[in-house]
Amino acid sequence: MAKTSTTTQGLRAAIERSGYYPALVAEAVEAAVGGEPIRSYLVHQETTFDQNEVRRHVTVLVLTDHRFIVSHTDEQAADSTSPTPYATTSTESVKLSRISSIVVSRVVANPESYKPGTLPREVVLTIGWGAVSRIDLEPAACGDPNCEADHGYTGNSTADDLSLRVSEAGDGPETVRQALAFAQALSEATADSAR
């Protein structure tokens, strides 16, 4: 899909709908995208509660012909480094060939009566490209309950660069649809880049 004014306007409108510092977020995303065509996008705004404070976070995912762009913007309360509240925004640009895994987890109600095309209740999109890895270790053991030997450790290494959860109840059905569409577009683009 070529970068059309409709695609650009749709991304801009989604950023504005999030209501979260749209001028700041849009400028960061547009600078990262540059002049590349936009194939797909997803905007997700998340509100969390941290003791007495409400914190907001927005994640913008953009797929171009050659790159996957991730933008995060967080707000911070005034602290010892700043007498006024402030926001931090960052963008990361990843070549499509670097994406090593795309996991789409769908939660559906009443699976026994599921009909194809029914919108999931929630979607978790996990994308790995090797920037962040998590290692979970635990002591290894053998089957002998009386064994006192040290068997070392066993564990797993997991690429977990980005995990994003959207739900129909919290984000609305359109955001769930957009998450599924973005995941499919990203999967197709990474398959094309592997050829």
Q: What integer pLDDT is reported at residue 151 of this predicted model? A: 80
Q: What integer pLDDT is reported at residue 3 of this predicted model? A: 45
Inter-residue contact 77 to 51 (CB < 8 Å): no
Using DSSP's 3-state secondary structure scheme, residue 21 falls into: coil
Q: What integer pLDDT is reported at residue 165 of this predicted model? A: 95
AA letter at 58? V
Q: What integer pLDDT is reported at residue 2 of this predicted model? A: 42
Tokens 């650009």 appear where?
8
* Euclidean distance between the first and the last CA atom of the chain, given in angstroms as a whole number: 19
Inter-residue contact 36 to 64 (CB < 8 Å): yes
Q: What integer pLDDT is reported at residue 42 of this predicted model? A: 96
User: Could you say which DSSP state residue 119 is in?
Assistant: P
Tokens 């907001």 appear where?
56
List C-alpha distances in Å: 188 to 25, 102, 184: 27, 11, 6
Q: What integer pLDDT is reported at residue 154 of this predicted model? A: 77
Q: What integer pLDDT is reported at residue 149 of this predicted model? A: 84
Tokens representing residue 21 in the block: 């510092």
Cα 3 to Cα 24: distance, rounded to the nearest angstrom: 21
Q: Which residues of the chain have pLDDT under 50?
A: 1-3
